[in-house]
């Protein structure tokens, strides 16, 4: 299948630049082909910015990087009207960096809530409204935001409403010994690898349309709904861990994200049916940022991933 060949070629080209991080690359591509946004969490220096640049190069889409800082204003993201003397219209709209196919919101939790909220309309509606006039963002449009899980001083945690806009939250792990060695050889040598262009924006949109046509068997759909319902401590399928550690469960956007991502996952594996394994694969990145834990979980060192894994292990399939 031509689409599958292109996707495999995209992965191959990305691996020329990015060492390791197979799961991060795979999940990022699933999110992009699903038309969703990604929150990358990891310490500095793990290649998050390089990943975004490489994705834009291989997929032939425009990209902008916005460095979020406490003094960043909403107009610095969306753009603003500027005075142009002598023109028919004294005010003209100057587009901000959000007008790109792929926007990297670097260290998004360093900006104030007012500035963070400037991305809300863009992420959900894929448009920007400035001084009462609406401007459509280019298609396709994706936001990949990053945040540092360690350095929390001077940061503004993302509100639940904005976290819910991200299809996935992906944890970027520290590279292994062999991967570190390869990173050093590639980045300190004289012949850096260049990734070739494989797709374009139209290809991405076509893949998204194709994925949406993939059917989901009723048993698989029921299982995914049970997994989501199990994150709510008052629901029938809630596990003991959920009842003990979860304050608020995942929203309905969680199940939409799981099903759409599972369809893309199946397609990327060359299948035209969604399996239970597809649901299990995408459930953790789709739900980890949608579950609010209580103080007891914090005290016991329990993370959302452990709770979701427990749910997947205990909810019956079929």
Find all residues with CB under 8 Å of 86, minimum gap 6, and list them: none
Q: Residues spanned by CATH 1.10.8.80 within the chain? A: 214-314
Which pLDDT score is estimated for 212?
A: 92
Question: Is the confidence at residue 209, as pLDDT, over 80?
Answer: yes
pLDDT at 224 over 90: yes
Burial class of residue 196 in the structure, from the number of CB atoms within 10 Å of its CB (0-12 exposed, 13-18 middle, 19+ buried): exposed
Residues 221 and 258: their CA atoms lie apart, in Å, by 10
CATH class of 214-314: mainly alpha
Q: What is the rounded average pLDDT for all residues in the chain?
A: 86
Q: Where in the chain is the domain with CATH 3.40.50.300?
A: 2-202
pLDDT bin (cut points 50, 70, 90) of residue 276 is: very high
Average pLDDT over residues 196-207: 88
In Å, what is the CA distance from 11 to each residue of 70, 139, 187, 223?
36, 22, 20, 30
Please say if the pLDDT value at position 1 is more than 60: no
2-202 folds as: Rossmann fold (3.40.50)
Of the candidates 10, 55, 19, 31, the one whose C-alpha atom is nearest the C-alpha of residue 262 is 31
Verify cis geometry, omega within 30 degrees of 0, for the bond prior to 140: yes
Q: Give the list of residues 6+ apart from residue 82 with CB closer than 8 angstroms, or none.
A: 91, 92, 93, 94
Predicted local confidence at residue 279, as pLDDT? 95
Average pLDDT over residues 99-122: 85
Closest listed residue to residue 281, CA positions, set 256, 303, 264, 299: 264
Lowest mean pLDDT among 5-14, 27-36, 110-119, 140-149: 110-119
| Predicted pLDDT at 163 | 85
Reported as a pLDDT band with limits 50, 70 and 90, residue 158 is confident
* Of 172-176, 208-212, 299-303, minimum mean pLDDT range: 172-176
Q: How confident is the model at residue 133 (pLDDT cuts 50, 70, 90)?
A: confident
Q: What is the pLDDT of residue 5?
A: 86
Residue of 1 and 44 predicted with greater confidence: 44
Q: Do 221 and 256 touch, CB atoms closer than 8 A?
A: no
**Greatest Cα-to-Cα distance within the chain, rounded to the nearest angstrom:** 70
As a whole number of angstroms, the distance between CA 240 and CA 171 comes to 25
Task: Retrieve residue 219's tokens.
Answer: 């048993």
Within 8 A by CB and 6+ apart from 188, the residues are none
Q: What pLDDT shows up at residue 259?
A: 96
């Amino acid at each position: 299948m031509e689409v599958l060949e292109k996707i495999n070629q995209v992965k191959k080209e990305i691996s020329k630049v990015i060492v390791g991080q197979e799961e991060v690359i795979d999940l990022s591509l699933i999110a992009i082909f699903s038309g969703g946004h990604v929150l990358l969490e990891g310490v500095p220096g793990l290649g998050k910015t390089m990943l975004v640049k490489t994705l834009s190069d291989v997929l032939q889409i425009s990209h902008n990087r916005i460095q979020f800082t406490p003094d960043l204003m909403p107009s610095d993201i969306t753009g603003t009207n500027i005075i142009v003397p002598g023109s028919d219209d004294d005010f003209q709209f100057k587009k901000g960096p959000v007008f790109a196919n792929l926007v990297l919101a670097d260290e998004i939790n360093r900006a104030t809530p007012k500035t963070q909220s400037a991305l809300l309309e863009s992420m959900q509606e894929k448009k920007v409204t400035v001084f009462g006039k609406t401007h459509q963002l280019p298609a396709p449009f994706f936001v990949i935001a990053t945040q540092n899980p360690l350095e929390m001083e001077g940061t503004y945690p993302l509100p639940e409403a904005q976290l819910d806009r991200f299809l996935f939250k992906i944890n970027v792990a520290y590279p292994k010994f062999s991967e570190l060695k390869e990173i050093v050889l590639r980045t300190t040598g004289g012949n850096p690898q260049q990734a070739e262009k494989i797709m374009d924006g139209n290809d991405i949109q076509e893949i998204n349309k194709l994925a949406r046509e993939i059917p989901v068997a009723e048993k698989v759909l029921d299982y995914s709904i049970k997994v989501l319902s199990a994150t709510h401590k008052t629901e029938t399928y809630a596990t003991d861990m959920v009842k003990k550690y979860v304050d608020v469960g995942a929203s309905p956007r969680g199940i939409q994200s799981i099903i759409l991502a599972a369809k893309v996952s199946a397609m990327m594996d060359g299948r035209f049916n969604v399996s239970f394994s597809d649901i299990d694969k995408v459930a953790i990145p789709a739900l980890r940022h949608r579950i609010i834990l209580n103080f007891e979980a914090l005290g016991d060192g329990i993370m959302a991933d452990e709770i979701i894994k427990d749910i997947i292990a205990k909810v019956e399939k079929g």
